[in-house]
Amino acid sequence: MDMTINESKLGFEVSFPFDTRKNDAVREIHGSWWNETKKCWVVPRRKQGELKRLQARFNKGHKDVGLLPSQVGFEVEACVADKTLPKLSIEIPLKRALREYQADGVAYGIEKKRTLIGDQQGLGKTIQAIAMVVAQKAFPCLVICKSSLVLNWEKEIKDWTHEKPMVFRDSVKRSWPVFFQSHFCQFGIVSYDSLKKYFVTGFKEPGEDEVFMVKHIMYRSEISLFKSVIVDESHYIKDEKVLRTKLTVGLCLRRQSVYLLSGTPVLNAPEELYPQLVALGIANHFGSKANFKALYGKNNPRQKEALPYLNYLLHRHGYYRRLKSEVATDIPPKTRQVILCEIDNREEYDLAEKNFRKFLEERLMMTGGQIDRALRAEALVQMMRLREISARGKLKDAYQWIDDLLEQGEKVVIFGHHKEITRALAQYRPDTTVRLCGSADKETLDRRKQKFQTDPAIQACVCSLLADSEGHTLTAASNIGLLEFPWHFGKAEQAEDRVHRIGTVYPVTASYFLGSRTIDRKIYKLIMSKKDIHDLVTGTEEDVENRVVDNLINLFNQKDEEDEE
């Protein structure tokens, strides 16, 4: 009869009909002991590798499929059901206060040091990871993220900490180590696409029977400076064959702390999780790669039994996830966030802004610095042109935002102003998107709204700020994006309230897409600085727009104005 292995709170319980060879082999495992009550050997969990080798040696026809207990027992059930996290007991020098559930996550991450943060979008995975690093003073810290999120990471670090971030750019391609050696910067932010450029000196040729692996990558010696690594959107390293994955894994090795962030670490199959476990440095708790695939993959007839065990192991060794519904009492009903975008049509925008500044300089000189009606009207036309160029330059980031949320099973509402922009958004995922626009008749609009509200296959709704910021109920979504925004806060709030209405079940997150070094930053600051209702009560909508336009004219006319702080 084969050797039977079950896991209990004591460790691995090993039983078999008496066999001298098996008995001696198990006894030789350091830490093993005989449980007289249960009539079995108990082997410490840390000796799982040795136990697997014995299993392979003694079990007839045994295949390397790992240690899946036939009866996982109460310990596993308790771990899956009880997601209680430790309480934070230390002060962390942050500029802002963490929410209670965020503090719990930070406490867990500090304790484990290697953690996959799986919170639902909008719960602050970024903030928690930053706080974990700051609490441990694990500097310098390398942040690896998508290129579209580099500026957002820089902003979050500045907003939340007293530390200095540095974005990896061509200007520091060779000199970046100096900034960390001198303690001038504590965080370095780099995109997945740039890992090779900044950290790799070359590659070794694999042997004749070898496949290309992390060990064949020659990194700059200075990567040893990094004490911690944060990997954002870690599902980007789900494919072990892709160079991006190998580069990231290599950078995570031998670090004091490693934190991975993803609301969807597994998009298609459980095997996608394994490279992320390797990056974390906890894959040894899950068996070999072949083990993992055989045990949790679709070809295992016991997959349904195995997956709860995988969930148990994840929570035990470094993973947590909360949904908005689980922490709703700790979240405000509506949260706003800024998504900074590096526009991809920079040359076009800079030329248009240069011409606009020149126009203002000449006209204000003619009017003696006074802003008359004619100047205001012409300036408005040119500002609208700047907004439209910026919006086009942000489309790729909007598409990525939509992709990320839809992959998590979320529904989204996104607003634009220009027809070209709303059309492009609607055409991005036409099979899963409805578009509400003023030109459609009421029956068509109602049908589209109903589909978005009730049909799981329709995940995105594109609206026009001009026509659709009022009168629609779109509460099937808890995420709203504004790729373009109006001249005053009242209209923006009306757009937000298409999703956030009485009866809304989950907290709403409103994301404002701002083009870096564009008119967006100026408009956003102005409308948010004047967001009380007094503007709407004491003046007409036109009055509010005129005041904003006048303020913008003055801002653009200022020399050497810096709007990136």
Which of 305, 330, 355 is at the close of a domain? 330
Same domain, 348 and 274: no
Same domain, 154 and 217: yes
Same domain, 355 and 373: yes
In a domain, 447, yes or no: yes
In a domain, 73, yes or no: no
In a domain, 455, yes or no: yes
pLDDT for position 438: 62
- CA pair distance 129, 180, nearest whole angstrom: 20
- CA pair distance 323, 101, nearest whole angstrom: 11
Same domain, 321 and 350: no
Query: Residue 291 belongs to a domain with what CATH number?
Result: 3.40.50.10810
Domain count, the chain: 3
Q: In 364-388, which positions are buried (b, 16+ CB within 10 angstroms) versus exposed (e)?
A: beeeeeebeeebeeebbebbebbbb
Same domain, 352 and 326: no
- CA pair distance 261, 259, nearest whole angstrom: 7
Beta bridge mates, 229 = 142, 258
Same domain, 51 and 98: no
Per-residue pLDDT in tens (0 to 9) along the chain, 565 residues: 578 888 777 888 888 888 888 888 898 888 888 888 888 999 988 888 788 778 777 765 444 434 554 433 334 444 444 577 999 999 999 999 999 999 999 999 999 999 999 999 889 999 999 999 999 999 999 999 999 899 999 999 999 999 999 999 999 999 999 999 999 999 999 999 999 999 999 999 988 888 899 999 999 999 999 999 999 999 999 999 999 999 999 999 999 999 999 988 887 888 999 999 999 999 988 888 887 888 888 888 878 777 888 888 898 899 999 988 888 888 888 889 999 999 999 999 999 999 999 988 888 877 777 777 888 888 889 999 999 999 999 999 999 999 999 988 899 999 999 999 999 999 999 999 999 876 778 888 889 999 999 999 999 999 998 765 556 788 899 899 999 988 878 788 888 888 876 556 678 899 999 999 999 998 888 888 765 444 444 444 555 566 767 777 777 766 544 444 4
Q: In degrees, to the nearest 5, what angle opens at C-alpha 486 toward C-alphas 483 and 492? A: 80
Phi then psi for residue 368, to 5 deg, are: 70, 30
pLDDT for position 130: 99
pLDDT for position 503: 52
Same domain, 297 and 413: no
Same domain, 311 and 348: no
Same domain, 399 and 510: yes
Domain that holds residue 320: 92-330
In a domain, 265, yes or no: yes
Same domain, 405 and 522: yes
- CA pair distance 189, 434, nearest whole angstrom: 36
Query: Residue 542 belongs to a domain with what CATH number?
Result: 3.40.50.300
Which of 330, 346, 376 is at the close of a domain? 330
Taking phi over 0 as left and psi of -120 to 50 as alpha, with beta for the rest, 10 belongs to: alpha
pLDDT for position 465: 86
Same domain, 283 and 301: yes
Same domain, 149 and 265: yes
In a domain, 528, yes or no: yes
In a domain, 80, yes or no: no
C-beta neighbour count of 354 within 10 angstroms? 10
Which of 297, 314, 330 is at the close of a domain? 330
pLDDT for position 427: 96
In a domain, 77, yes or no: no
In a domain, 358, yes or no: yes
Entry pTM: 0.78
pLDDT for position 210: 84
